Chains A and B, each alone.
Chain A
Amino acid sequence: MVVPDVNDAAVRQRIVVTMVERSMKTRWSTASPVVRRTLVLASVLILGAVGMAAQQQNFDNIQVRSMHVQGKIWMLVGAGGNVTIQIGDDGVLVVDTQFDGMADKLIAEINRLSGGKPIRYIINTHSHGDHVGGNQKIAAAGAQIVAGNFAGQIAFRTGGGNPAFIIAHENALNRISRPAQGEPPPFEAWPTDTFFVESKDMYFNGEAIRLLHQPNAHTDGDILVHFRGSDVISAGDVYTNARYPNIDVAAGGSINGIVAAANNIIDLTVPADKQEGGTYVIPGHGRLADEADVVEYRDMLTIIRDRIQDLAQKGQTLEQVKAAKPTLDYDGRFGAATGIGNTDTFVERVYNGVKPPDPPANNRNRRR
């Protein structure tokens, strides 16, 4: 038996890739050839669009702004997804890292807010580049505490450094490490501390933190991060009050998963009084919210889903459904003509998610 040289970065990466491939093969093998082709094509288009947008974006004039939410939680905005940080005696925990080009500015703001406390953990709510792009730099700026007898494992993963751990659902690691298009980010940017069950618990800075998987919502690897002591949920892109949700079908997303995730958030939140305040929710994109805001969003998604499903069940084609304008009342607030999450794409993905399945080919032939 040949023992791999774990001091070689390429070897370390190959070992993790093999583990990821094994994980993905199980799920991939259950999809039909048509579904596989559709997913690959859609994935290429989506990831290509996100990647190109990030490459073309100039971050020079974008500043990171921050706001204290409550307890130990702050919300940071800049370019890309919203960032949540928890600050306490144990150090700093960061949820999502925007783009690589924003990382230095984020680190500066985190240091300013925390007084230079070390970043111990990064949590990725899902796999998209506008939420994980700063992983490598921000992790490298941090420092994890490990027991002495585990130091070798840390060195194995990082090539000798001691960066912050990066945590995500296993499906997010799969998407990041094996993108449908282009090269994966550097190994050091991967969230290699993963879980594959429905939740993971942590305790950091004196409060319980629950990572709750939301299956097949925005993607197949979304998690809610619930800071129970501070009473704040970092929702990632399963809740984005700036626009219609981007249902990334190629990455395992679905309208019913997004609606289920919104209902899960409503179950977790407790308003303080008169349906206001209490638990706060930091969306993947958009402004700080509470339960009433998520209820408005859940209602919107449910009503639009029901309308499109009703039309689809009556046999209407996608073009007929679009012509019926089932999103008319919400387009001004959530719609967009172009870009990720645009209205046309949103309607199309909802339609494909709720239309009755096509009859088997042999049945169609029989009718003829």
Chain B
Amino acid sequence: MVSAAALPASAQIDITGNYEPIMHEDQVERIPGPDVGDYAGLPITEAARFRANSWSPSLLTLPEHQCKPHPSTYGFRGVGNLRIQSVVDPESEEIVAYTTHIRWMEQKRTIWMDGRPHPPEFAPHTWQGFSTGRWEGNVLVVETTHLKAGWFRRNGLMLTDAAKMTERFIKHGNVIQHVYMIEDPNYLTEPLIKTSGFLLQDRDYMEPYPCSYVTEVPRARGEVPHNLPGTEASNPSAEYAAMHKIPVEAARGGAETAYPEFMRRAQPAAGRTGAQ
């Protein structure tokens, strides 16, 4: 492994190509998408839960919210094709960067391989963040900072712009296993780890994805849709738990709900669903 790590980037395994996501993991969460109130198994803080309970899907009707792409903390969980390309220094022929492009909303990112530092703390943040990569053996390890306030699940589970992400791109034959680990001191009590598979394709069928906003709902200037605490809508986990006959404390999430000990303790669910 040491000798592999010492090789120039261009001598490492080739991860470039066009890939299609394999929905072997968490498909329901990804297509059609999660239910509101489903936070089970996620290491969220009380603050993250409060914010998600306050979140209303109507927020996405605001013009200024309509053209947001998935941040890199979620995009690899989406459904779009993935294109990975290398950027080569014409003089040295070294790979100085990789670019990733995910189809939906054109999520484009550069992963710098030339050892450059991350920008200062007062530099702007972007949806895809600022990424630098390095090889650990045949695994491409990517560190991303300077992310905008984004999300890691499409039901109001948000991230602050203090979040950081570490990824690993692991290639087995024609499959890339993408592993990401997100840390957010505000909304996660411990790192959130997810994996997603991508299958190499023979053809490149990336399409453009322009976006322009429209006024979908007439609203008063500055109105921001959200659920006020104490309202029925601000307790979505109760409805979700009742619908799926699981304990409401499981639906409400938290690191403890990810472990088998919790599952044993939480049985049986009868008579406890929907209760706060």
Contact = CB atoms under 8 A, between A and B. Distances in A.
Interface residues of B, number: 39
Nearest to B45: A332
Contact of B120 (A67, A82, A280, A307): A67
Interface in A273-329: 273-276, 280, 286-293, 295-296, 298-299, 302-303, 306-307, 310, 324, 326, 328-329
Contact of A329 (B54, B65, B122, B126): B54
Nearest to A282: B122
A266 B64 contact: yes
A14 interface: no
| B interface SS class | loop
Contacts of A292: 64, 68, 127, 148
A328 B64 contact: no
Given A263-B222, A299-B224, A332-B185, A307 B229 contact: yes
Contacts of A299: 59, 224, 226
B124 interface: yes
A42 interface: no
Contacts of A75: 122
Contacts of A330: 47, 51
Contacts of B67: 271, 273-275
Given A263-B222, A310-B228, A332 B47 contact: yes
B62 to A, nearest CB: 8
Interface residues of A, number: 40
Contacts of B122: 65, 67, 75, 77, 82, 286-288
Interface in A70-108: 75, 77, 82
B162 interface: yes
Contact of A332 (B187, B222, B223, B228): B187
B193 interface: no
Interface in B127-173: 127, 148-149, 160-162
B69 interface: yes
B221 interface: yes
Interface of A: 65, 67, 75, 77, 82, 259-260, 263, 266, 271, 273-276, 280, 286-293, 295-296, 298-299, 302-303, 306-307, 310, 324, 326, 328-333
